[in-house]
Amino acid sequence: MPTISFASSKGGAGKSTSAVLLATDLASRGASVTIIDADPNQPVSRWSRKPGCPDKLTVISAVTEETLLDAIDDAARKTTFVIVDLEGTASLMVAQAMSRADLVIIPTKGSELDAIEAVKVIKFIGRQEKAYNKTIPFAVLFTQTNPAVRPRTLKSLEQDMLTKGIPLFGTALHERDAFRAIFSFGGTLSNLDQGAVSNVPAALINARQFTAETIDMLRRQQQPAAERPAEVA
């Protein structure tokens, strides 16, 4: 079953938020999902202990370098999707998770400094490809973007990455109060009190677009190379 790892070399990029949004949306569609919380800060585990965690979603915490691969393999046998929220450093645990990944998602904010950190993760992935002698698919996901305006800086970063052949999500996860609210109140976007949290419907649409594009990326990775559509430069 597909294993998706979320990796970032710095905090605040939206890694855990993206992982939970994807996992809860997949679970809402009827898929069984396991999130492995390998972030030392345990944000996903704290969220899961609050009310409203979907029945089809399991969160595993307290994994170590010695137990991570077994946890991933066991979850892949039991659930349709495995999502790994990684720690924000280049470590053996991160390398191990990448060796099992069908897709590595690299969340980053739309600034030059954050883009530099994203490139560090991409270079780390390249080293793991050599170490494990396998291709590790990845894509950069821009997060915390303005839903109304795409600044020139963001457009420039996107173009620069595309020119360098770096795969990007066409969907960006916007700056939304609803995305923060699920960590405060628990549960999913669908369960939020729309009287207390603004723009929940827009947040739901944004999260579903992200999920749909992730599923599409996974499907394309499963196609033989000759059948895959050409990448747009």
CATH code, domain with 177? 3.40.50.300
Q: Is residue 136 part of a domain?
A: yes
Query: Residue 7: inside a domain, yes or no?
Result: yes
pLDDT at 231: 42
pLDDT of residue 223: 67
Residue 217 lies in a domain: yes
List the alpha helices (DSSP H) in the chain. 15-28, 43-48, 68-78, 92-100, 112-132, 152-163, 177-185, 200-222
**pLDDT given for residue 224 in this prediction:** 59
pLDDT in the model for residue 79:
97
Does the residue 140 lie in any domain?
yes
Identity of the amino acid at 189: L
Is 164 a domain residue? yes
187 in a domain, yes or no? yes
Q: Name the one residue in this structure whose structure tokens are 């603004």.
A: 198
Q: What is the mean pLDDT of the chain?
A: 92
Q: What was the pLDDT predicted at 151?
A: 84
* Residue 156 exposure: Cα atoms within 13 Å on the Cβ side: 5
- State both tokens at 153: 């800086």
pLDDT for residue 222: 76
pLDDT at 232: 35
| pLDDT computed for residue 183 by the predictor | 96
**Does residue 233 lie in a domain region?**
no
In a domain, 232, yes or no: no
Q: Are 92 and 85 in contact (CB under 8 A)?
A: no
For 77-113, the pLDDT digits (tens) are 999 999 999 988 778 899 999 999 999 999 999 888 9
pTM of this prediction exceeds 0.75 = yes
Number of domains in the chain: 1
Stretches in the chain below the pLDDT threshold 50 = 226-233
Provide the domain limits for residue 59: 3-227
